[in-house]
Amino acid sequence: MIKNNFLETIKSLDGEVYNLKYHQERYESVLNSLGCSDYKNLRDYLFPPLKGLYRCRLTYNENQINVSYHGYKKRDIKSLKIVYDDTIEYAKKSEDRNSLDELYAQRKSSDEILIVKNGLFTDTTIANIAFFKNGIWYTPTSPLLQGTTRQRYLDNAKLIEADIVVQDLKKYTKIALLNAMIDFDIITDISYEM
């Protein structure tokens, strides 16, 4: 285990690695923000199992890269609790998830939380979010984490950034969760707890 680790979660199905370009870009961006320009090609570190769906957990810092593989089973999310925190920061995906875990503990009987910062929706603890209204999918302008799947959908013009306030939630008819493992997962029959 290496200390002060950053993290990439990369999908692998039957040995194929998905959307590596976006993970590579985020990895390089994090290292660049630390003043390091000695980038490795992440593909050189990924040797997932040839059968099955796996979460490739790539941890790194300026000096090392470690990879482990974990069988993946999607969480069933049917209820979201809205949780407020105006100070939370998670701009770099890292192993230090203490602030997210503390908010997640407030979910009570809900499956997951929707985090609100400074009056605006941001993310859940495991995914970026998108809301559907009038034929268009919107994603928060200021997510906690610039997710790779979110960025891919923005680049393909399938999402539009917008400031989404709690008071407007009823104007949206659908919600989707976005991350490397579930891609763009539209949740049907969702309930919200304020």
Average pLDDT over residues 24-32: 97
1 — pLDDT class (breaks 50, 70, 90) = very low
* Beta strand 174-179 pairing with 128-133: antiparallel
pTM, whole model, 2 decimals?
A: 0.93
% of residues, the chain, pLDDT over 70: 98
- The tokens for 71 are 């069988």
Q: pLDDT for 90-129, tens place per residue?
A: 999 999 999 999 999 999 999 999 999 999 999 999 999 9
189 — pLDDT class (breaks 50, 70, 90) = confident
Q: Which helix (H) or strand (E) holds 23?
A: helix 20-33
Average pLDDT over residues 3-10: 88
Greatest alpha-carbon span in the chain: 48
For the chain, list the domains and their CATH numbers.
Answer: 6-71 (3.30.470.10), 79-193 (3.20.10.10)
pLDDT of res. 114: 98
Distance, in Å, from the CA atom of 75 to the CA atom of 88, rounded to the nearest integer, reads 24
| Average pLDDT of the chain to the nearest whole number | 95
Average pLDDT over residues 72-89: 96
Say if residue 70's pLDDT is above 60.
yes
Say if residue 33's pLDDT is above 90.
yes
Contact 60, 5 (CB under 8 A): yes
Average pLDDT over residues 78-96: 96
Distance, in Å, from the CA atom of 77 to the CA atom of 130, rounded to the nearest integer, reads 15
194 — pLDDT class (breaks 50, 70, 90) = confident
Q: Is 92 exposed, middle or buried (0-12, 13-18, 19+ CB in 10 A)?
A: middle
CA 19 remoteness from chain centre: 14
User: Strands, DSSP E only, in the chain?
Assistant: 6-13, 16-17, 53-60, 65-71, 79-84, 112-117, 120-121, 128-133, 136-140, 160-162, 174-179, 183-187, 191-193
